[in-house]
């Protein structure tokens, strides 16, 4: 079989001695851009922040099976030519190593119209199991240029699971049920 396939991939000949990027972060878009992307027909977005009272918070936590850290939720009503067309809910979730800001678009009946990631950040700390392996990079990394968005664009190897986003969307749906209907 030919060694020159019609696609082009070149594995490196040597392993770089330093490992790049002590953190992986991508800023996808602003909330405003996400609003226009998720409700292209909307002519206005009216701020409609939700603040749950204790009873509503308990209902949401029970329905969504997740704890709510804050009783406030930033919400906008998308309006097209004076008529409401849906809700734009801004939310963030964080796990042990990741912090994700995302938006959920709901139609008027409360069905999910879309989920869009705005900002993804990984922060790692305590998971180092091999101090020797780590030590060889610590020194080398110092001074190495770090171009997060350009250089570390293509990471092959599992990103963290989106379990927290699934939980977050469940919570947003429960908030709609108690506060936006």
Interacting residue ranges for other proteins, rule: CB under 8 A: 1-3, 5-24, 26, 28-29, 37, 97, 102, 114-117, 120, 122-124, 127-130, 132-134, 136-137, 151-162, 165-166
Nearest distance, CB of residue 101 and other proteins, angstroms: 11
The CB density around residue 76, as the number of other CB atoms within 10 Å, is 22
Of 129 and 181, CB closest to other proteins: 129
Of 53 and 161, CB closest to other proteins: 161
**Is the Cβ–Cβ distance between 98 and 121 less than 8 Å?**
yes
Nearest distance, CB of residue 43 and other proteins, angstroms: 18
Closest C-alpha among 72, 84, 73 to residue 45: 84
Nearest distance, CB of residue 61 and other proteins, angstroms: 22
Closest C-alpha among 78, 69, 80 to residue 168: 69
Nearest distance, CB of residue 110 and other proteins, angstroms: 19
Residue 160 is classified by DSSP as P
Q: What are phi and psi of 122, to 5 degrees?
A: -110, 135
Return left, alpha or beta for 157; rule: phi > 0 is left, psi -120 to 50 is alpha, else beta. Answer: left
Of 57 and 97, CB closest to other proteins: 97
Of 6 and 54, CB closest to other proteins: 6
């Amino acid at each position: 079989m030919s060694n020159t396939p019609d696609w082009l991939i070149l594995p490196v000949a040597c392993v770089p001695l330093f490992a790049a990027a002590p953190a992986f972060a991508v800023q996808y878009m602003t909330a405003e851009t996400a609003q226009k992307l998720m409700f292209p027909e909307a002519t206005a977005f009216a701020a409609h922040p939700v603040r749950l009272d204790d009873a509503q918070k308990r209902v949401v936590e029970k329905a969504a099976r997740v704890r709510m850290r804050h009783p406030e939720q930033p919400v906008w009503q998308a309006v097209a030519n004076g008529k409401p067309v849906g809700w734009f809910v801004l939310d963030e979730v964080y796990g042990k190593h990741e912090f994700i800001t995302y938006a959920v678009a709901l139609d008027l009946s409360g069905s999910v119209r879309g989920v869009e990631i705005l900002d993804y950040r990984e922060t790692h700390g305590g998971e180092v199991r091999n101090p020797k392996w780590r030590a060889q990079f610590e020194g080398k990394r110092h001074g190495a240029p770090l171009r997060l968005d350009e250089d570390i664009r293509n990471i092959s190897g599992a990103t963290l699971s989106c379990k927290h986003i699934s939980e977050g969307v469940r919570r947003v749906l429960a908030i709609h049920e108690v506060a936006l209907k």
